[in-house]
Amino acid sequence: MLTTHSPRRPGTRLTVLFAAAVTTAVLSAGTVAETLNIYSARQEALIKPLLDRFSDETGVEVNLVTGSGDALITRLTTEGRNSPADVLLTSDAGRLYRARQAGVLQPVSSDVLTAAIPANLRSPDNLWYGLSVRARVLIIAPDRVNTDELQDYEDLADPQWKGRICVRSSGNIYNQSLVAGMLAQQDSAQTQAWLDGFVRNFARPPQGGDRDQIKAVAAGQCDVALVNSYYLGAMLQSDNDEERQAAEQVELLWPNQSNRGAHINISGAGVTRASEQPDLARQLIEFLVREDSQRWYAETNNEYPVRDGVPHSRLLQAWGDFKADALDVSELGRLNAQAVMAMDRANWK
């Protein structure tokens, strides 16, 4: 559901408090309050603490509007030049590509961002920049899976895994991007053949989110699941005993380590086309790739820093180093439509 509020442009004397209350901000005489309005597809808990730090350091008020990535892009398109948003924060390169295609972002050049973020994790035309890295990994039941027989995503199409795989629906952007990544590196016939075999091996109709796939492996409903790694991290650190115990019964397996590497994706940000203060918006994005901010992503969200040399959290270190696919993540968006059609042909619901 899209959570909406009423952000205001810089110079306002109102601060939007996102408990749905609006209070009057008392400003000292002769001052003007700088304000940034953020449309975010990330849950508030996964980004607001960093935005609060930015406000504390700069004095810039940050108004946050949260919602699904696609809904926010639609909102930006509908609002057009009248949109109050300055920055779009979202997850998955596929959605950032959609924002680019919708024309709701403006290019912002930054030596800071170019130096900090690898070229394959940012838009070649400076429309968006990766902020954190997430990997789509295999979750296995260690007592029921022989890892000598499961090393790559491609192995999941083998008949030996029939009735043993859990995964969420084909409508999920993370799965679409995984398939798009395959299409970028092999011909469509190979990818289609893999999809056909993979779908035949499902233990149950696709359902639920990534946490549900992990729980299903722990409960013995399947032996292998495809998930983003940070979901496992969140469950291991959960206050919910059931979630934590389920996560402790499974193991993470890094796929394709002897060839192209594990599929990765990003969360990222871009400055909206409607923003009248792109320099201030750029400063916020630069703040989010600062080393201390990147450490926060690792320690709080269990995501991997987008910039090199940032220490990983203890949990990420425990999972070990892994080889990541070096594919330009822009390809995940460019090939999304082809991926969805291939998944439909394989009857991946």
Both tokens of residue 307? Answer: 């910039």
Tell me which residue has tokens 């395959």. 182
Residue 229 CA, distance from chain mean position:
11
* Residues annotated in a binding site for Fe cation: 230-231
From the list 25, 15, 124, 10, the residue with the least C-alpha distance to 63 is 15
Backbone angles phi, psi at 92, to 5 degrees: 85, 130
Residue 220 CA, distance from chain mean position:
28
Eight-class DSSP state of 324: B
Helix (H, G, I), strand (E, B), or coil: what is residue 262?
A: strand
Both tokens of residue 293? Answer: 């901010």
* Residues annotated in a binding site: 230-231
Tell me which residue has tokens 């040399």. 309
Alpha-carbon Rg for the chain in angstroms: 21
Residues with Cβ within 8 Å of 276's Cβ and at least 6 positions away in sequence, in order, are: 9, 10
Residue 163 CA, distance from chain mean position:
29
In the chain, where do the E strands start and end? Answer: 14-17, 21-24, 35-40, 61-66, 87-91, 105-106, 129-140, 165-166, 224-228, 251-253, 264-272, 304-305
Give the burial class of 31: count Cβ atoms within 10 A of its Cβ; 0-12 exposed, 13-18 middle, 19 or more buried: exposed
Both tokens of residue 348? Answer: 């991946």
Tell me which residue has tokens 């959605």. 95
Eight-class DSSP state of 224: E
Written in H, E and C, the secondary structure of 77-142 is HHHHHHCCCCEEEEECHHHHHHHHHHCCEECCCCHHHHHHCCHHHECCCCCCEEEEEEEEEEEECC
Both tokens of residue 72? Answer: 């926010």
Longest dimension (CA), the chain: 73
